[in-house]
A and B are shown apart, each in its own frame.
Chain A
């Protein structure tokens, strides 16, 4: 590794965080989120408009000449930290990161690519990749037929469909979408199937370009997912600390027992680590570092487990209330567990590291 990554937050990044947090605090509080989740349509369209166009978050990765903000992965990572904290249902990671990054890997002079990017930059349209959420950066995309576990497909206007002969942009109206019942209610999943052979969509890349674009999109998705996991873990720890300071049993706050406080201190150490790992991945993506695949695999191998650990501890440290539907801990737990499968499990990323760090398997 040549230069050290910049692991801090810039002033601009802190301002962006403040804007997103303020929006989510006002408009996406827990009762509102629970009500929407139960309605079967968790997305808040007006919230998306403000986040995407008002704050400009949807176009952070898109260059200004294509209608975006011309910012980068470090800024998008900060947005994801906040979306993770609030467990907000929004097609940000799938659309504004993975699909956007895939399109940016194509010929952005081509009108069909440029027009789509311009529409994505303002959030007026949403594109998501027609890939199972579990697809890791090193995985080959499905070769055709119905695709299960496509995240945010029900919220998409356009699907980016990899086929053996290239990448296609297909209007949502031209596919059959069958919603699935997801473990994580805040990130809806659906099966995407071709409507018929006469509606293939628009071919926007040949096969080699498509493969590179899918990999680049998934690498950015995996790397920035770490920031979502960081934000989620932070929220879980803060709520656990808040609860155990207030909750009294045996005539004292339960947070005064070492059996509990040591677990929260341990989580804090993990979160401090997760921040360094997530920032390193975001910075590597932003600077196009040759170390990016390693930084991303490292962040995923680490941060996935921290988010799951934090959410599981959050449920346990809340006692009975943590098991109730009314308390939001379960939303975080379900998101954290689903996130640990997204873009490859920690084990899958450790397997990548065996190659990247030259620690080969036996035999």
Chain B
């Protein structure tokens, strides 16, 4: 087992061989990957050393102290958080060798082709078809809510390969080449005015069978790897006190006494309490993970993060009075990075509406907590034993 001392030695050796001050950024990141110091819990040869995940902080600390470049994880979040764990768990050796290094280094951006106009919360009902044609699959359909599609080189894709079986059984998981001529990406403008997401139209897109992840018809099981990692990554960042959405409104309250009213004061204090308690809950969750005692507590984090962001930003718009009537900029832009607390109060208010929809709606998350954590019985279902082609659409 690789220990902290060995990781520290390896990191220092990397820094000696490739001094950050005089090494090209991409070259340094490639060398870091090849030294097994990208994600130490990954296997040797794939950017890791098979070390405990908790030891990553040793490497990161050494590299930060040496002012080494990082791989700008926010720009490649879908690749790191969702595609990589799925490739690792379900990809062939060739697939892992081909894709993981450029993914981690950031040379190839990934996006996720899951949701469709007719399949949101009920993802397993999706209609995009993949039909086998020789050594390839031919894909036709429409995907939506695809962030980064306009800059992505590759996508993880779920498509229907068998419409004659119940919906969960007829799905297959693929790696899709976003540079294929049959892929058309159109910006999807949101209520904020920007187009952070895209619609993706797939017309006779050819995918080699070697780019299938998991067995034919096994796509739902493979997708669980992806979705579990998505829910861990949303709402899980470590924050200082007032580090989230409450920060700007608390600052405005302190700096602008003329805006204060008794009603707003009561509501601000109540939300401050909730935000600080949610922060402590996140801290407790991290302590459980470090102690090797992960619990189900994480399931609630995104749920309350969404509601608090919405209520706090709504209060902020109200606090600002006349300024609350203004908006910074309605120009259509296509941001590569999303910062929920970025821009001004009106933007925060509108963008946070998405927090209770993206990555599982709050209503679906409540079902998950009720049924998987509390073990309450499921609602009777009419779609489990019916062939997908016979479902109402």
Binding site for B on A (CB under 8 A): 1, 4-8, 237, 241, 244-245, 252-253, 255-258, 261-262, 264-266, 268-269, 272-277, 279-280, 298, 301-302, 350-351, 353-354, 357-363
Contacts and interface: CB of A to CB of B under 8 A. Distances in A.
A264 B367 CA distance: 10
Given A266-B366, A269-B369, A256 B265 contact: no
B272 A276 contact: no
B380 A273 contact: no
B16 interface: no
A258 B375 contact: no
13 contacts: A241-B376, A244-B376, A256-B378, A262-B367, A273-B280, A273-B300, A276-B277, A277-B280, A298-B273, A302-B273, A302-B277, A353-B269, A360-B260
Contact of A269 (B300, B363, B371): B300
B95 interface: no
Nearest to B304: A269
Interface in B197-242: 241
Contacts of B321: none
Contact of B262 (A4, A268, A272, A361): A361
A256 B277 contact: no
Nearest to A279: B284
Given A280-B280, A350-B273, A261 B371 contact: yes
Interface of B: 241, 250, 253-254, 257, 260-262, 265-266, 268-270, 272-274, 276-278, 280-281, 283-284, 287-288, 291, 293, 297, 300, 303-304, 363, 365-367, 369-371, 373-380
Contact of A359 (B253, B262, B283, B370): B253
A276 B270 CA distance: 17
A244 B287 CA distance: 33
Contacts of B291: 8
Nearest to B378: A256
B280 A1 contact: no
B44 to A, nearest CB: 33
A323 to B, nearest CB: 22
Nearest to A300: B273
Contacts of A256: 376-380
Given A265-B370, A350-B266, 5 more contacts: A1-B241, A256-B377, A268-B374, A354-B265, A359-B253
A290 to B, nearest CB: 14
Contact of A362 (B250, B257, B280, B281): B257
A143 B293 CA distance: 50
B1 to A, nearest CB: 24
Top 9 closest pairs, chain A to chain B, by CB: A261-B370, A362-B260, A269-B300, A265-B369, A7-B284, A276-B280, A256-B377, A265-B366, A276-B281
B254 A245 contact: no
A123 B131 CA distance: 77
A362 B278 contact: no
Contact of B260 (A258, A275, A350, A361): A361
B332 to A, nearest CB: 37
A5 B260 CA distance: 32
Contact of A268 (B274, B280, B373, B378): B373
B277 A245 contact: no
A359 B288 contact: no
A272 B281 contact: yes
Contacts of B250: 357, 359
Contacts of B272: 353, 357, 359
A245 B376 contact: yes
With a 10 A CB-CB cut-off, give which of B261, B376, B378 has the most chain A CB atoms. Answer: B376
Contacts of B376: 241, 244-245, 253, 255-256, 261, 264
B268 to A, nearest CB: 6
B268 A359 contact: yes
With a 10 A CB-CB cut-off, give which of B268, B273, B304 has the most chain A CB atoms. Answer: B273
B301 to A, nearest CB: 9
Contacts of B375: 241, 245
A345 to B, nearest CB: 13
A268 B277 contact: no
A244 B273 CA distance: 31
A3 B382 CA distance: 52
Contacts of A268: 300, 369, 373-374
